[in-house]
Amino acid sequence: MVPWREAMDSALYGAGGFFVRHAPADHFRTSATASPLFATAIATLVARVDAALDRPDQLDVVDVGAGRGELLLGLAATLPNEVRERARFVAVERAERPDDLPEWVEWRGDPPREITGMLLATEWLDNVPLNVAEADDTGEPRQVLVDARTGAETLGGAMAPEDAAWLKRWWPLTDPGARAEVGATRDTAWVNAVRTVRRGVALAVDYGHVAQARPVGGTLAGYRDGRQVSPVPDGARDLTAHVAFDAAAAAGEQAAGAASQLLDQRSALRSLGVIGARPSLELASEDPRRYVRELASATQAAELIDRHGLGGHYWLVQPVRVAVPLG
């Protein structure tokens, strides 16, 4: 039996780990892979960041947890020529570079230092390994240990000081049996990502929660072949937990020395022009092809801004030495 963080790390990223062997898009839908409209909206934001930076000679566009590079390819296809020509596209991944990726996409294991431009992290933080805590019969938080083969759990010792401090501040547990995922490792991952930005914006998009609405019992889950499955850390499934976004935001703000913005994807995408309005019925008779195209686009937009689905995801926008308000 080992702590969840260790189990998750080797199940997702160890030799033969899930993300080393599998493309995320083969197993679940993310905003980046659901519709090209997502990349179009992010391209609008990248262009705004570029303008706020006074159009630098090189504009870094760095995607951390890039999957197979889908979002970067979508961005390159939609950015205005004048911006694309100056852009350096960098995918940061634990997985190997796909054979068919164009050579103008850089592929690395860590973000470059000194980014001037935009750092993107869509559905990355939920996959950063973390510990799980459970309050024992006396209400004291204890480490949850897990068997990597079966997923069976047992309670271990007291939480490490850093995890205990995080729980106390962000997700206090007192009722016996109450559980929480400890976001300290995510906050650190986000801080390290934000610190690579010299000037520009770091954006994290993910499902999550804030203090007013922590999910009772936690959110640790498994996914495989498009279905939710039990979270066994056996390397055969995605393991994910919703992100405590208020905690990550506070950590990022401290690292950047600047206020962040936390908004839902619905508001963020609508402010970037993804409205989801259906075409008029008159268009169906005037120009049937255009009607079908616009209807398909409206359907995709509706999925991205659906409050109860992708539209309920959080956007954490962290500016660094530049102002780019959203919404």
Ligand X SMILES: C[S@@+](CC[C@H](N)C(=O)[O-])C[C@H]1O[C@@H](n2cnc3c(N)ncnc32)[C@H](O)[C@@H]1O
Residues that bind ligand X (CB under 6 A): 19, 24, 30, 32-33, 64-67, 92-95, 122-124, 127
Per-residue buried b or exposed e for 162-171, using 16+ beta carbons within 10 Å of the residue's own CB: ebbebbeebb
- Closest C-alpha among 125, 133, 122 to residue 182: 133
Minimal distance in Å, beta carbon 169 to ligand X? 24
Burial class of residue 303, CB neighbours in 10 A (0-12, 13-18, 19+): middle
Cβ of residue 153: shortest distance to ligand X, in angstroms? 23
CB of 12 vs ligand X, minimal distance in Å? 7
**Residue 317, token pair as written in the block:** 């926008």
CA distance 327 to 269: 8
CB closer to ligand X, 92 vs 135 = 92
* Residue that has been written with the tokens 């203090």 in this structure: 211
Q: How far is the CB of 143 from ligand X (least distance, A)?
A: 22
- 75 vs 45: CA distance, rounded Å: 11
Task: Point out the residue whose Cβ comes nearest to ligand X.
Answer: 65
Query: Rounded to an integer, what distance in angstroms lies between the CA atom of residue 107 and that of residue 114?
Result: 17
Closer Cβ to ligand X, 21 or 307, answer by number: 21
Closest to ligand X by CB, 124 vs 291, is 124
In the bound state with ligand X, the residue whose beta carbon lies nearer, of 124 and 170, is: 124
State which residue, 50 or 123, has the beta carbon closest to ligand X: 123
Pick from 255, 229, 268, 225: which is nearest to 28 by CA?
225
- Least distance CB 271 / ligand X (angstroms): 20
